[in-house]
C-alpha cells in the first residue's frame, strides 16, 4: 500500500505504520522534531497526534493565609479612608 501524501509540513502516516512505529512518532513529538503527525486510514486522514498543552494553573485564593496578620485598626491612621467606609 502506498504511503499517504503529507499535508503541508505535517507528515501523514498510515494506520499500520502508526501502530508499528508509535514510540518513534511520540518521540518525534516530544523532542519537537514534529509538532504533529496525521494518521490516515485507507489514505484518508482520520486522527492527529500532537503534544498536550500543560493545564493552565488556576489562581488560588487564600494562598497567603496565615502568612501575616492584618490589624483591626488598619485604616485608623488614614482618616479619609475611614470616612469613606463609614459614609451612609
pLDDT value of position 6:
46
**CA–CA distance from 60 to each of 29, 39, 47, 56, 64 (Å)?**
32, 39, 36, 12, 10
Give dist(CA 7, CA 13) in Å, integer.
Answer: 10
pLDDT by residue (tens digit) across 48-87?
Answer: 999 988 767 777 777 777 888 877 777 667 777 777 777 7
pLDDT value of position 40:
96
pLDDT value of position 75:
64
37 and 49 in contact (C-beta within 8 Å)?
Answer: yes
pLDDT by residue (tens digit) across 21-46?
Answer: 999 999 999 998 999 999 999 999 99
Domain extents in the chain: 12-50
Amino acid at each position: 500500500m502506498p504511503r499517504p501524501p503529507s499535508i503541508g509540513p505535517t507528515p501523514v502516516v498510515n494506520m499500520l505504520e502508526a501502530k508499528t512505529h508509535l514510540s518513534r512518532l511520540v518521540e518525534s513529538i516530544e523532542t519537537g522534531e514534529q509538532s504533529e503527525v496525521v494518521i490516515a486510514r485507507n489514505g484518508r486522514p482520520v486522527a492527529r497526534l500532537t503534544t498536550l498543552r500543560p493545564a493552565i494553573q488556576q489562581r488560588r485564593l487564600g494562598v497567603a493565609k496565615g502568612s501575616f496578620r492584618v490589624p483591626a485598626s488598619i485604616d485608623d491612621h488614614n482618616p479619609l479612608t475611614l470616612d469613606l467606609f463609614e459614609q451612609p
